[in-house]
Structure 1
Amino acid sequence: MNFGYLAELASGATTLQRVTSGDTDAFIGRVPDELMSFWHQNGLLFFPASALTLCLPDLYDPHLEHLMSVVPDLHAGDFAAVAYDCFGTTYLWQKTGHLWIYDLQTGLLDNQTARRQLDAVPDDLAQLYADAGVEMPLQGAEEPLLALANAPEDLGNTLANAVVESVINGHLDADGVPLFPQLVERFGPVQEGQVFALIHPDNRHDINSYEKTTISDALTRWPFQLMVSIQRAGGNLPEVETRIYDIPEG
């Protein structure tokens, strides 16, 4: 697991909090040791250009405990929130080594690791080899792809990519125009600890459906339902199914 690239990007970030071992001892075993070292060396950071904030897990713990109380297969203590962006897209680390994405606005909880493994082998494997200019072996053609798919998650590079790729620009209005600059124009720049929260969840493509608030306030709001992608064993690769749970009021 490599946090070197994220450390290089830290020069463009705002330090929100210096972190000591006393701040993180409670998270030993819940997050990778490499992330603990990054916290101690760099602190908690806010990246203004991508509106990504690195956080300690206890910020989300009460929210996740309530949320996952309705999911028999998942236990909140196995998850740790490590970062979120201004749309409430949250990066969760599971002790099993899986990376999950939780959408605070819609209640979608997606196992990114299982999905990566599931999508590893394309339907047209021969075309993939042809496009790469490599002769397809008669046996074991899928093995390199499976090995890559089953490689351990690199949380450091995932967070670094979230910074440089500005995934917030993937949130579009009804005309396909990024919402982020429109929301900044209306509400002003996003500061540390702030998010654009949906006040009309049924129309997330309309800037009139948002308000700017704090992450602490956003975490007191509950989606109507939690949609969870659950990994199941299935042949060489896991299968992913989506289950829907009603969320009780907090």
Structure 2
Amino acid sequence: MKTMKIGFIGGGNMANSLISGLISSGHSAQQIWVADADQEKSSSLATRMHINTSPTNDALIAEVDVVVLAVKPQVIATVIKNSRSSFEKQNLLVVSIAAGINQSSLSNWLGVDKAIVRCMPNTPALVQTGATGLHANQNVSEEQHDLAENIMRSVGISVWVTNESELDAVTAVSGSGPAYFFLLMEAMEKSAIELGLSQHTAQLLIEQTALGAARIALESSESPGELRNRVTSPGGTTEQAIKIFTQGGLSELVKNAMQAANDRSISLSKELGAD
């Protein structure tokens, strides 16, 4: 992978994170290119990361083995169509991190024979703790499969899904998931302040507790339910809080919320791929 030339069309936050992750994991900065409509943005990124900058998307595509489409979903069709002839380059892998743009639309714009990997990263990738779902079309070789995985693993974990439709569920789980935890943390902080803690103390305790719980879950072979039971002593304080959550229908509420996110992901794909 270290000899593969990787180009980023779009120099925003996610491209910044991926480039930083790649370099931190040992990929040569001299094997990375970036092109952005905002020349100052790409020049700044190139200066900070010591990577290459390309004056146009076409020039970038000519240099690399893989193109990461890191532009907003609303403009991805235009970006591809404006460089359609350049994307016809042989053995080129195209990795899309544009939310809601499905394989059918990408193949329609790029060509049915193009190797495409569609990814659904989440915002913790910005701090190298991301979770990404990936799906490859039938044109992706084993080597390209590994390359796409390594790119996304540079900012966290990566999981492959067999059916592209599963990416809608990935969106509902990890794509939107950080907001669910932020909502719980927000509610806990408000309640903690009402219980007498200062805002600073409440925030610090909640953030560290969330971090600790996530780390235990990651490092344990036990299920979340088993871990919950381990810290829920009969007749104790935790049991009383869990009872309130249960009586309030938390499980059903989470189920409905994630179904709504899944359904919206499906409808967005139809809207964004309509062009």
Please indicate, yes or no, whether the TM-score normalized by the shorter chain is above 0.5. Answer: no
Determine which structure has greater relative contact order: mean sequence separation of CA pairs < 8 Å that are 6+ residues apart, divided by chain length: 1
Query: Which protein has the bigger helix share?
Result: 2
Larger radius of gyration: 2
TM-score of the superposed pair, with normalisation by structure 2: 0.27
- Point out the structure with the larger strand share: 1
